[in-house]
Structure 1
Amino acid sequence: MIFSWISWAAVYFVIWWTTLFAVLPFGARSQFDDGVISPGTEPGAPTRARIGRLFLITTAAATVVFALLFWILRQDVFGLDDIPFLPRFDRVG
């Protein structure tokens, strides 16, 4: 295996976190857009956060990206050693 399971978990976490920031603005409506601004709040604040929905979309998208990356790196066709500016890696196990 090219990485340990802890390394794969770290890669998934980075992909998930990056995907979250890409998905965060999907369907967001600000208080200014809706025309109802609560006193003492920022007009650009969302009216409904729907954070659970965003987490589900993020998890689904990150899992697809991670599965694709995992499949590519597990194949013998392409590996990290094929990237010219990276150092050479020894296989583990």
Structure 2
Amino acid sequence: MSITSILVVFAVMWFLTLFVVLPIGQRSQEEDGNVVPGTPAGAPAEPKMKRKVIITTIWAAILTTIICTVVLSGLLTVDMIDVRGVN
């Protein structure tokens, strides 16, 4: 597995993890009782993006390490993946 492959796995895991982390602990402006004029009531009151990016990066690094370890150890190879359903 090359450095490029590891970076691609990290980028994919980062974005997947970001979309999981974004709604966690989110309160809308309507729930907070302070709707800013011109914004939808469901818009986030306090997005806390810096914290979410840090959490996303940590989890993406952990998941990338697990995936790369499994691939490099030989537990999962391309030959094991049966795409066409043929044995």
Aligned partner of 2:35 in structure 1 is: 37
Structure with bigger helix share is 2
In percent, how many aligned pairs have the same letter? 36
What runs of 5+ residues in structure 2 fail to find an aligned partner? Answer: none
One-letter identity of the residue aligned with 2:6: W
Residue 70, structure 1, aligned to residue 71, structure 2: no
Which one of the candidate residues 14, 19, 23 is aligned to 1:16?
Answer: 14
One-letter identity of the residue aligned with 1:17: F
Question: What displacement does 1:66 show?
Answer: 0.7
**TM-score, structure 2 as length reference:** 0.88
Question: What displacement does 1:11 show?
Answer: 1.3
What runs of 5+ residues in structure 1 fail to find an aligned partner? Answer: 87-93
Question: What displacement does 1:77 show?
Answer: 3.0
The runs of at least 4 consecutive aligned structure 1 residues that moved more than 6 Å come to none
Which one of the candidate residues 26, 31, 37 is aligned to 2:24?
Answer: 26
Aligned partner of 1:61 in structure 2 is: 59
Mapped to 2, the partners of 1:5 and 1:53 lie a distance apart of 27
Question: What displacement does 1:63 show?
Answer: 1.0
Cα-to-partner distance string for 1:25-72 (whole Å, 9 max, x where unaligned): 011110011111111111111111110000011011111111110110
One-letter identity of the residue aligned with 1:34: D
C-alpha contact (below 8 Å) 1:31/1:47 kept by paired residues: yes
